[in-house]
């Protein structure tokens, strides 16, 4: 069996990072050409764990689901969950491949998978469109990843969520940019795209624009400096802003550290 920490990392990679291929498709319409005549399922798994996820491709779009598919076209199985995590973190790890009939599906999926490399700390695009894509993906990754840490029993997030009343952490880029939220309540958590409208945010991190969000989310500018320079405005509970900052650092250390 895989170590608990590897199980937790895999949960974030498979349930929060892998689904970002759908963001790639939404933000890069040209990628839809890879879906022409597409039809198949790619399974990701490891031999020492039940953790798994699959990606379905069709002319209509991409579907990403946790768990094992009953009839995958092609299966990528890593010897250990640690190797699967290494792969998703941008390291070198090669899976075993089963299902030759699914090779065309895998080839269609590779451009989407390669685009996930924009999440890597070393990826610092200068093109405005690429910066915007990285910001959008990072914001979704943060909200979803923190929720998955809680659901996976993380020693930092789970105790906090268990004691938490109904609280919303909102992330927004002004000027029509992306927005994501994380809601926690009595041990439960939910992440979503857009602005949560049913209650006022406990903490609201508001980025001036895409460039400002890029500088802060890639940690090229610290939070204190970002506030001082006008890159970031934080509204809500001061204690909550400290908490969410610590949680974001924890997620980064777990996935990319």
Domain range list for the chain = 4-119, 128-256
pLDDT at 256: 83
Residue 74 falls in which region: left (phi positive, over 0), alpha (psi -120 to 50) or beta: beta
**Domain 128-256 in the same topology as domain 4-119:** yes
pTM, to two decimals:
0.95
Smallest Cα–Cα separation from 153: which of 11, 1, 248, 19? 11
Q: How far, in whole angstroms, is CA 129 from its chain's centroid? A: 19
The half-sphere exposure of 251 on its side-chain side, counting CA atoms within 13 A, is 28
Residues 237-255 pLDDT 10s? 999 999 999 999 999 999 9
* Partners of residue 77 on adjacent β-strands: 45, 96
- Pick 128-256's CATH classification: 1.10.1200.10, 3.30.565.10, 3.40.50.300, 3.30.1050.10: 3.30.1050.10
Cα separation of 102 and 76, whole Å?
Answer: 11
CA 206 to chain centre: 19
Tokens found for residue 91: 């390291």
List the chain residues with pLDDT less than 50: none
- Residue 168: closest CA among 148, 149, 194: 194
The CATH homologous superfamily of the domain defined by 4-119: SCP2 sterol-binding domain (3.30.1050.10)
pLDDT given for residue 181 in this prediction: 98
């Amino acid at each position: 069996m895989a170590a608990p920490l590897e199980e937790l990392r895999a949960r974030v990679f498979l349930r929060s990072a892998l689904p970002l291929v759908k963001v790639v498709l939404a933000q890069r319409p040209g990628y839809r050409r890879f879906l022409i005549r597409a039809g198949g399922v790619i399974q990701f798994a490891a031999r020492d764990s039940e953790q798994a996820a699959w990606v379905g491709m069709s002319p209509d779009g991409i579907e990403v689901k946790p768990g094992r598919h009953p009839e995958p076209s092609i299966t990528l199985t890593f010897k250990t969950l640690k190797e699967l995590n290494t792969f998703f973190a941008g390291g070198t790890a090669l899976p075993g491949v089963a299902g030759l009939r699914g090779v065309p599906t895998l080839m269609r999926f590779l451009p989407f998978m390669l685009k996930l490399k924009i999440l890597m700390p070393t990826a610092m695009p200068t093109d405005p469109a690429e910066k915007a894509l990285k910001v959008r993906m990072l914001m979704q990754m943060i909200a979803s990843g923190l929720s998955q840490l809680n659901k996976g029993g993380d020693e930092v997030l789970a105790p906090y969520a268990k004691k938490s009343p109904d609280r919303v952490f909102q992330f927004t880029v002004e000027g029509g940019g992306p927005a994501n939220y994380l809601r926690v309540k009595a041990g439960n958590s939910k992440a979503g795209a857009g602005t949560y409208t049913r209650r006022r945010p406990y903490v609201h991190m508001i980025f001036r624009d895409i460039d400002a969000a890029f500088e802060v989310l890639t940690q090229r500018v610290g939070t204190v400096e970002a506030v001082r320079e006008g890159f970031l405005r934080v509204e809500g509970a001061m204690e909550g802003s400290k908490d969410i900052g610590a949680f974001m650092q924890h997620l980064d250390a777990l996935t990319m550290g």
